[in-house]
Amino acid sequence: MNYAALRHYFAALLLGAVLAQPAFATAPPAAAVAADNPAAHPSFTVRVVGKGRPLLLISGLTCPGAVWDETVARYASRYQCHVLSLAGFGGVAPAADGSRPASFLPAVRDQLLAYIKTQKLDRPAVIGHSLGGFMGLWLSTTQPEAVGPLVIVDSLPFLAAIQNPALTAEAARPMAEGMRQQMRAGKMPMAQQRQMVAGMVSDTARQGLLAHWGQASDPASVAQAMYELYTTDLRADLGAVRQPALVLGAWAAYQPYGATLASTRAIFAAQYAKLPQHRIEMSQAGKHFLMYDDTAWFFQQTDAFLRVNYAGKK
């Protein structure tokens, strides 16, 4: 298996929508609506939909909360959905005056923990995609008592180590800095953009939507988020997590690079080895956006997990 190619491809899945023109014309996403005083959490906005036990939904790089629209439609009758849109992603205004954030993801983590406390959310379940899955883990390792069960959608606790498990966060910094500078420099060529978006999701309409969100994202915010994602290693901290976790993985998009279901699952298993209560399930055909590509499977897995580990529990 070509691990170097797989690592760069996985990174490209996260980077692909940034600063490129949309491949298909789509309507812009609806603006997020803050659930409380947004000055208390300038790194994100929140839209609250539904009634019941609280459920946090956190999107990935360049995507606003609208990426969860179908998920919210399914769960709003059972849960109170708190849908996050990170500042600078998918048309949401960057934090502060739009200047380059010095420390973006730690601010999101700390402000989100404060939001959980001020809103008096009782150990909310978390569904996070990509960067959002990483954030769900980070919340749990920082304050294990603050959140409930985790659904982690195609994410890893240390993305940079997908090729070399012995890699440290410090050793990853030069690579991450190069990526950060590249993302700040300008637009990705259109041919490459279309290739990368096609690697994230199969449906052409969804490809257009993802490209639109990338076009609408703030380059400095996205570049900083990617840098911090590549230089933060949560693997050693996973033992602090006390809640059950469902890890949903994808592999089909990596098949041209030598990946198999077994080899990709092994990467997930190694990275999550120290997470006490977790189960890994791999989609057979879905690409990175499993809630789009393998919707029935995604809901089947998530429904069953929440029913056993969250519904009715206090």
pLDDT at 13 over 60: no
Say if pTM beats, i.e. exceeds, 0.85. Answer: yes
pLDDT at 34 over 70: no
Give the confidence band of 272 by pLDDT, cuts at 50, 70, 90. very high
Residue with the bigger pLDDT between 27 and 125: it is 125
How much is the average pLDDT of 125-133? 98
Return the structure tokens found at 222. Answer: 């996205």
Give the confidence band of 214 by pLDDT, cuts at 50, 70, 90. confident
**Domain boundaries of the chain, sorted by first residue:** 3-309
pLDDT in tens, 136-168: 999 999 999 999 999 999 999 999 998 899 999
- What is the amino acid identity at position 83? V
Return the structure tokens found at 30. Answer: 């609806």
Q: Which fold would CATH assign to domain 3-309? A: Rossmann fold (3.40.50)
* DSSP string for residues in the chain: --HHHHHHHHHHHHHTTTT---SS--PPPPPP--SS-GGG-TTEEEEEE--SEEEEEE--TT--GGGGHHHHHHHTTTEEEEEEEETTSTTPPPSTTSPPPSS-HHHHHHHHHHHHHHTT--S-EEEEETHHHHHHHHHHHH-TTT---EEEES--S-GGGGS-TT--HHHHHHHHHHHHHHHHH-PPPHHHHHHHHHHH-S-HHHHHHHHHHHHHS-HHHHHHHHHHHHT---GGGGGG--S-EEEEE--GGGGGGT--HHHHHHHHHHHTTT-SSEEEEE-SS--S-HHHHSHHHHHHHHHHHHHHHTTT--
